[in-house]
Chains A and B, each alone.
Chain A
Amino acid sequence: MANVRHGTVKEPFIHITKNAAMPFWKGLLIRASAVIAAFILCSLLAYFLIGANPGEFLKTFFEGNFGSNAASAKLRIWKLAKDTAILLCIALAITPAFRMRFWNIGAEGQVLISALASVAVVYYNAGRLEDGPLLVLMFIASIAAGMIWAVIPAIFKALWNANETLFTLMMNYVATFFVAYCLVKWTPNGSSVLGELKTGHLPSFGHDYLVLILVVLVTTAFMFVYLYYSKHGYEISVVGESQRTACYIGINVKKVIIRTMALSGALCGLTGFLLVAALDHSVTTTSVGGRGFTAIIVSWLAKFNPLIMIGTALLLVFLNHGAGQLATVFRVSFAFPDVVTGIVIFFVIGCEFFIRYKVHFRRKTRTAQVADNGSGGGGGALDSPGDNEKPDIVPDKGGKLK
């Protein structure tokens, strides 16, 4: 494949080649420096925009996550763990579908409808059942609701190849308005605020959030094993790589799509159940609060690996809490934390480029031949998930010297 250029041909100032194998520590180092560089840029922005010196910036960021005194430290660390767990749980839910290249952006609606299902069970139970059986019913209702919301677009995709991105997105709106409808129905005084339900609370051990966090950790382990060490996980990967290959080796693609989306929906259902039974004990149209979309970034940054997702979910929640504290302390609008989060994510995604590709600058004197392995010209780092696992097939996009 290697095209041979001679010294007489003018060499471009910069050229890029695919980086075959980078040691793990080096990749980690690049990512860490990207985060640090992003923080330096953010602290400069903070200095010029809101007048926070870099010291205050970092201190505030740190305090937002770990507290400013012993009492708030305890609260905020638990909050960090809890928010990470919820975000992670949604990211786990969308991951199997994404590995299959089924772009499910409907986690927001799937979680919301599951939360509504749990609330509906408590509402219509009206205190008749004890919390034990009630929780079982809530759990079943939430899982079922999440599965139904996810399987509808899956069926349309599998049978008629309907665009799943638009379909799942629209299902989000349906879920939101369905919640609004139920709230109007359940509050005859017209307030549309249900308030905290008195029954159907998940029992707590040790700490209010401990059960939730443990459930999510067990789910993470399960998903890791399921995706990497089970036949289903393998089928998902094959369907994701090539549906034709999957057909050829006898995988029932339709079945895999529907089954995988049912699993995605069930995990969203679990999240919805946890939101209601362990945290809110109520539902509003904004109960999920955009986390169904943030989870996509979590999953993608981790290259769809459930174990790495723990880290990426933590990073996003960390940014959110730290930047939120900045907004509070410096009295700026919520746009500023979003800018900070955006910059850091941009750097993290951007640095993937330097991990996957090598940049060569033109040297001053040229004598030797230059072997050009014809890299794809370096598209966005996020263009193709799972690239690392694929054998390195060199694209022939350039092809000019053939």
Chain B
Amino acid sequence: MISRLLRTVSNRRAFLGAGALLPLAPLVAGLGNSAAAGEHARVQTASTHAGNHTGDHAGGMTTVGTVDHARNGFDPYDMLTDWETGTLSRDDQGRPLRTFDITAVDVEIEIAPGIFFPAWTYNGRVPGPALRATEGEQLRINFINNGSHPHSLHFHGIHGASMDGVAGAGLVGPGEHFVYEFSAHPFGCHLYHCHAVPLKRHVHKGLYGAFIVDPDPALHPEHEDVARSRQLGALENQDWQELIMVMNGFDTNFDDENEIYAVNTVAHEYMKRPIKIDKDRPVRIYLINITEFDPINSFHIHGNFFDYYDHGTTLTPTSKTIDTVMQCQAQRGIIEMSFHDHEPGRYMFHAHQSEFAELGWMSFFEVA
């Protein structure tokens, strides 16, 4: 019966309390008190330890080790600015035509040091390539499914039913291919993902990516400067430090809860390698939430505020001067901010669900 002692918690306090009434109390209390006495020393030791292990800012709360990005074939740091612009040509009617090639392939990826996940990917990376086009262009996406299950590309954008990437409209069996064609509308910060069923499995296995449509300045005379600053390659765009951040998660033990949360897949990566920011140039973040299983995700910046363009479909902010923004799954938007007047240093940003932050969605800007 005594082993029940080892497991029963509910009435523990009652017993410890009752102990104080009895002459034996000093004995057992002695064992208990040493716990209380150890408290201060312990907390200090713990943080000192952690400091030694993981650098100044983690406080012990971190994954341990490093991910082999070369083995993965993609590096979250490079992904921040890795735009896939495809190839630009003219279609038979003389309109600009942008062509992308995407192949679905099963790859095992390292999502935190030492944790390997059997992912389904677009072009071997999670998130898939960050497609970038300009408003009004004709888009042609050649999709080959080299994976083991049927997959598709379902774009969040304006297109016809036959190009929707659902069953009967561009769902592609293993070894087959399909060409999606539509024009780039509306401008904004969008995404694409697989729409094969079961949806949850196909999404959390890694089949998603950013789909950014830059506004065509000629179509927005009232905010031409803003539109120009958004257009990749335009002179007004050069000054901006543009970053793509896809908030995602991984359910490694398939219990419908994520063991890993991250921006661009690898847990704590930007905590270990802070993102370098030039304080004199403005920052624009294309933020997309594709986290499965949890209703929302969020972005919170320390020591600063930003303007936010929900879905990126406007040229004036939908929220001004906020430091936290919440997104449901597939919601996305553009964050614009400046560190111009800030002292240099590390500025933390993370999900303001502490749970997500502590499971990997924790990052730093290194402002200089």
Q: Do A and B come from one complex?
A: no
